[in-house]
Amino acid sequence: MSKTILSSPNKEVIIGFDQPFCVIGERINPTGRKLLAAEMKDGNYSRVEADALAQVAAGATVLDVNAGIPLADEPKILADCIKLVQSITDVPLSIDSSIIEALEAGLSVYQGKALVNSVTGEDESLERVLPLIKKYGAAVVAISNDETGISTDPDVRYLVAKKIIERAADHGIPKEDVIVDPLVMPVGAMNDAGLQVFALVRRLREELQVNTICGASNVGFGVPNRHALIAHFISMSASMGMTSAIMNPLHQEQMVAVQAANVLNGHDPNCAAWLKANRPPAPEGEQGSRRRGGRRRR
Amino acid sequence: MSKTILSSPNKEVIIGFDQPFCVIGERINPTGRKLLAAEMKDGNYSRVEADALAQVAAGATVLDVNAGIPLADEPKILADCIKLVQSITDVPLSIDSSIIEALEAGLSVYQGKALVNSVTGEDESLERVLPLIKKYGAAVVAISNDETGISTDPDVRYLVAKKIIERAADHGIPKEDVIVDPLVMPVGAMNDAGLQVFALVRRLREELQVNTICGASNVGFGVPNRHALIAHFISMSASMGMTSAIMNPLHQEQMVAVQAANVLNGHDPNCAAWLKANRPPAPEGEQGSRRRGGRRRR
């Protein structure tokens, strides 16, 4: 049974089949966020700070940090943000870039065991990213596409994932440190997108015993009431064995899906986390009484 | 692959692994509804009528009809309600009683192929209900408890289900006409209640190839925000292979769960049902224009 351990100086997060679903906050990412991109480029990280705190408060146990801004000094910005986020939160981070120098800059300042997002099945990616993972003792997200692109055939995606795991082993990286992203297509464009992922997740879990991750939002691209669809995709994936997702913890519907999946998969003893998150607020009068140490009126 | 076919004079509903999840409306049931019980006992079925129409409008494709009222003439009331509901809707019905005379009274007036709710693994139940199922060519809900009660061991519940299917076969009832209820416990009382059902549903599907059903509401008994928990239980169960549920279609969250499960399990071609149910309403002016055959303003 695979356990992926990530850490910050003060905290360890375990991703695994017998663990609560791991919520990796996706917000610190300038893609599609013009204002954030402009600010980050100028070295103004106030919004990064706010996003970090808000996501942890909403229940993210890992934060993804991405600094992909065109024509910017991505390695420096990514390293700055990693240092900043580590100084104000205690959750482990996912260092997210498609540029090898940025990944290395982020890893070199990171304290603890990071998740690196990501390596693909392309030879160039494998040969450049895996040595870094080994050097820094990190874990890595393995995206199941290769030189031929993203196959619509789930069997091909499975084989790409298997290849990445084997190559990682060649570099001395255990499969516990490889989390596979089976790639989620928009269900509005591909009717069996959900089924494909469910079948892949189950196979990756049962045949390769690896943890899995996904960018959950993609499944709902272009359909109305998409947050409800994404929420059920998360809980259904979790029932098939998905162990983590890069998602927006500020969407309440999606966090309720994670909480429900934890309860129903037996990973929330005595429903403690569910009760804490879903208990209706006490009436103001009662709160007041309690705050003053008074008894409840009958 | 099991297909359970239910029918009314004008409509056929197929429950099966490759079919949309079957929503069986649970509202026509006087248990815990004092006003409805008193009215039904007096022969006033206006609320039964309203509940039938509302549930069909909300998306139920089968309606459960129960007339279990203490000290009332249950066979007569059940038969009356079956006739009434069949006269105003065209969905197949589930005839729900623990009294054999009431089941027979309902079956004798039912037009089409009904679902009978239910038989248990108790010898007396098997010997009294199964001949009725055979006589009327109905399908039956098999509840996986026996003389010893409801086992908390899912392996025992599996064996009870298997026994009912075998006994049904002895009576000439094919397993296509037996829908197994693996029994859902409240997760607030039993931490692995969800996991137990998921594992049982998968086993019933893969080893016995039978359709499954559950009373979904029970899982959320006593916990806050229970409709959200029930909703995710429904979609997660559907991903494990559950094919139907007796549930309240008037709870929007639960119907969205069914719609999402159908999309993500590939049973909603082109997301047509999702789009119909979840498309945001057009602004009033536009609706008006369309109704008058006008063009949209740009």
CB distance from B194 to chain A under 8 Å?
yes
Interchain proximity B240–A239, CB inside 8 Å: yes
Distance from CA of B103 to the nearest CA of A (A): 34
Interchain proximity A195–B228, CB inside 8 Å: no
Q: Which residues of A touch B256 (CB under 8 A)?
A: 225, 228, 232
Query: Where in the sequence is the domain holding B265, given as residue range(s)?
Result: 182-274
Asked whether residue A8 is domain-assigned, the answer is no
Q: Which residues of chain B have pLDDT under 50?
A: 288-298
Each residue of A96-142: pLDDT tens digit?
999 999 999 999 999 999 999 999 999 999 999 999 999 999 999 99
Each residue of A2-31: pLDDT tens digit?
899 999 999 999 999 999 999 999 999 999
DSSP assignment, residue A215? B
Asked whether residue B269 is domain-assigned, the answer is yes
Q: Describe the strand order of the beta sheet including B22-28 as a list of residue ranges.
A: B178-181, B139-143, B115-120, B93-96, B62-66, B22-28, B244-247
Interchain proximity A278–B228, CB inside 8 Å: yes
Is residue A296 very low, low, confident or very high in pLDDT (cuts 50, 70, 90)? very low
Q: Which residues of B touch A278 (CB under 8 A)?
A: 223-225, 228
Which residues, including other chains, have CB under 8 Å from residue B94's CB and lie 6 or more apart?
B24, B62, B63, B64, B65, B114, B115, B116, B117, B141, B246
Residue B129 CA to residue B134 CA, distance in Å, equals 9
CB distance from B72 to chain A under 8 Å?
no
A 231-270 residues inside an 8 A Cβ radius of B: 231-233, 235-236, 238-240, 256-257, 260-261, 263-266, 268-270
Instruction: Give residue A292's pLDDT.
Output: 40
Residue of B nearest to A257 (CA): B232
Q: Which residues of B touch A194 (CB under 8 A)?
A: 263-266
Residue B109 CA to residue B78 CA, distance in Å, equals 10
Q: Which residue has the tokens 């991703």?
A: A15
Residue A181 CA to residue A245 CA, distance in Å, equals 9
Judged against a pLDDT cut of 90, whether residue A275 lies above it is answered with: yes
Q: Which residues of B touch A256 (CB under 8 A)?
A: 225, 228, 232
Q: Which residues of B touch A219 (CB under 8 A)?
A: 264
B159 burial (CB, 10 Å; 0-12 / 13-18 / 19+) is middle
Instruction: Give residue B284's pLDDT.
Output: 64
Which residues, including other chains, have CB under 8 Å from residue A135's CB and lie 6 or more apart?
A107
Residue B121 CA to residue B149 CA, distance in Å, equals 10
Asked whether residue B54 is domain-assigned, the answer is no
The letter for the amino acid at B3 is K
Q: What is the ipTM of this complex?
A: 0.91
- CA-to-CA dists, residue A279 to A56, A210, A243, angstroms: 20, 34, 25
Closest CA to A213 of A22, A7, A18: A22
- CA-to-CA dists, residue A111 to A95, B69, B277, angstroms: 12, 67, 48
CB distance from A282 to chain B under 8 Å?
no
Please give the average per-residue pLDDT across A244-273, as a whole number: 97
Distance from CA of A126 to the nearest CA of B (A): 32
User: Is-contact A20 A13, C-beta < 8 A?
Assistant: no
When CB atoms are compared, the residue of A191, A239, A270 closest to B239 is A239
User: Is-contact B7 B93, C-beta < 8 A?
Assistant: no
Each residue of B239-251: pLDDT tens digit?
999 999 999 999 9
Instruction: Give residue B291's pLDDT.
Output: 41
Q: How many domains does chain A have?
A: 1
Interchain proximity A228–B194, CB inside 8 Å: no
The count of C-alpha atoms lying within 13 angstroms of the C-alpha of A297, restricted to the half-sphere facing its C-beta, is 8
When CB atoms are compared, the residue of B187, B238, B271 closest to A187 is B271
Instruction: Give residue B285's pLDDT.
Output: 57
Interface test with B, best of A202, A230, A235, A258 (most B CBs within 10 A): A235
Q: Which residues of A touch B275 (CB under 8 A)?
A: 223-224
For chain B, the three-class secondary structure string (H helix, E strand, C coil) is CCEEEEECCCCEEEEECCCCCEEEEEEECCCCCHHHHHHHHCCCCHHHHHHHHHHHHHCCCEEEEECCCCCCCHHHHHHHHHHHHHHHCCCCEEEECCCHHHHHHHHHHCCCCCEEEEEECCHHHHHHHHHHHHHHCCEEEEECCECCECCCCHHHHHHHHHHHHHHHHHCCCCHHHEEEECCCCCCCCCCCHHHHHHHHHHHHHHHCCCCECCEHHHHHCCCCCHHHHHHHHHHHHHHHCCCEEEECCCCHHHHHHHHHHHHHCCCCHHHHHHHHHHCCCCCHHHHHHHHCCCCCCC
Instruction: Give residue A1's pLDDT.
Output: 65
Instruction: Give residue B107's pLDDT.
Output: 98
Residue of A nearest to B227 (CA): A260
The DSSP bridge partners found for residue A63 are A25, A93
Asked whether residue A188 is domain-assigned, the answer is yes
Please give the average per-residue pLDDT across A198-223, as a whole number: 95
Lowest mean pLDDT among A50-59, A200-209, A284-293, B246-255: A284-293
Residue A23 CA to residue B146 CA, distance in Å, equals 42
Interchain proximity B194–A264, CB inside 8 Å: yes
Angle at B113 between CA B164 and CA B138, to 5 degrees: 20
Closest CA to A178 of A207, A211, A148, A156: A211
- CA-to-CA dists, residue A144 to B45, B228, B266, angstroms: 59, 33, 22
Asked whether residue A196 is domain-assigned, the answer is yes
Residue of B nearest to A184 (CA): B264
DSSP assignment, residue A182? -
Residue of A nearest to B230 (CA): A260
Each residue of B110-147: pLDDT tens digit?
999 999 999 999 999 999 999 999 999 999 999 999 99
Asked whether residue A265 is domain-assigned, the answer is yes
Judged against a pLDDT cut of 60, whether residue A293 lies above it is answered with: no
When CB atoms are compared, the residue of B223, B225, B261 closest to A236 is B261
Interchain proximity A260–B192, CB inside 8 Å: no
Asked whether residue B199 is domain-assigned, the answer is yes
CB distance from A189 to chain B under 8 Å?
no
Q: Which residues of A touch B271 (CB under 8 A)?
A: 187-188, 191, 223
Asked whether residue A209 is domain-assigned, the answer is yes
User: Is-contact B246 B24, C-beta < 8 A?
Assistant: yes
Instruction: Give residue B290's pLDDT.
Output: 42
Please give the average per-residue pLDDT across A246-268, as a whole number: 97
